[in-house]
Amino acid sequence: MSDSSPSPAAQRQQTIAVIGLGSIGGVVAGCLAAAGRHHVTACVRRPIEKLVLDQPGGTVELQLPVYTDAAQIKEPADWVLLCTKTHQTQSAAPWLARLCAAKTRIAVLQNGIGHVERVAPLADGATVLPIIVYYNGERLAPDRVRLRQGSDQDMAVADDVDGRAFAQLFAGTPLRVQLCDDFATLIWRKLLINAVANPITALTLQRQAVLRRAEIQELCLAILAEAVAVGRAEGVRLADDEPQRALATLFTFSGELGTSMYFDRLAGLTLEVEALTGAIVAAGERRGIATPLNHALLALLRAVSDAATSGG
């Protein structure tokens, strides 16, 4: 693994379209726009007059072009940053159809696994890059987001030509991008973190401090042991102590932080169930590996999510 810190002066200005200004998209759009080196636009459902970014260095107010209709897009972008939830990917199809060409790179900043398989059919020949997001973003209002940084890196990407080009976009911004030789293992490690942090916080309606309870830690280790067995069957190189590592990583974050699924439940939104716990259960079924705890979580999360969708 290596870090990329190219000189900002060495970069040419590129056109970057960010689809979705939620907790993840709002942060990347804000950081890129504040740096002022690229032309950043936002693709959203509802217009905003400005974007306010609360970051460790202070609060900034940003003016950036905002589109609410894909028909407003006149030409393809150099980069598309897809920041919707995984279950909203199909809704981004009209945007991708207008923004993508063979030269375009689509960076998929979504949870779970299978980014390329999910987005490539909509990409019109563009290159699709899966991105792992570590930073904690919180949407405070439709036009305001907060960045909190908890680990050594904020995002990770494969160490190849496209990955290095993605890292260069963020040179000089607060967001740190890690280049990784073994991306498959790294993305499963992020899935392990999400496999406990998101369901437990959403189901208990508590922030990450709940993970410090002894009985919750015991439950998390058992959930993670199932997921590790599935990941190994999928050919991922996961160590014997991966469950303990995942919990240790979570404990480096402040207990007052929430998760995307926690915030979605508070807002009465559909939960990103299938890309996280659902992905583990589905892979277990493919490989003939029992995942009773993850299956129980999936049943509960689906029930909560379906209630949000139906309004009851």
Q: How far apart are the first and last CA of the chain?
A: 47
The answer to whether 144 and 117 have CB atoms below 8 angstroms apart is no
Concerning whether 103 is annotated as a catalytic residue, the answer is no
pLDDT, tens digit only, all 312 positions of the chain: 445 444 444 457 899 999 999 999 999 999 999 999 999 999 999 999 999 999 988 999 999 999 999 999 999 999 999 999 999 999 999 999 999 999 999 999 999 999 999 999 999 899 999 999 999 888 999 999 999 887 688 999 999 999 999 999 999 999 999 999 999 999 999 999 999 999 999 999 999 999 999 999 999 999 999 999 999 999 999 999 999 999 999 998 889 999 999 999 999 999 999 999 999 999 999 999 999 999 999 999 999 999 987 765
Second-level CATH architecture of 184-310: Orthogonal Bundle (1.10)
Retrieve residue 135's tokens. 């930073």
- For CATH 3.40.50.720, the residue range(s) in the chain are 2-181
Q: Name the CATH code of domain 2-181 (choices 1.20.1730.10, 3.40.50.200, 3.40.50.720, 3.40.50.150).
A: 3.40.50.720
Marked catalytic residue, from 50, 85, 103, 190: 190
Query: Could you give the residue range(s) of every CATH 1.10.1040.10 domain in the chain?
Result: 184-310
Measured in whole angstroms, the distance separating CA 40 from the mean position of its chain's CA atoms is 19
| Beta-strand pair 177-180/155-158 | parallel
CA dist 172 and 134 (Å) reads 18
Sign of the Cα torsion 25, 30, 35, 40 reads positive
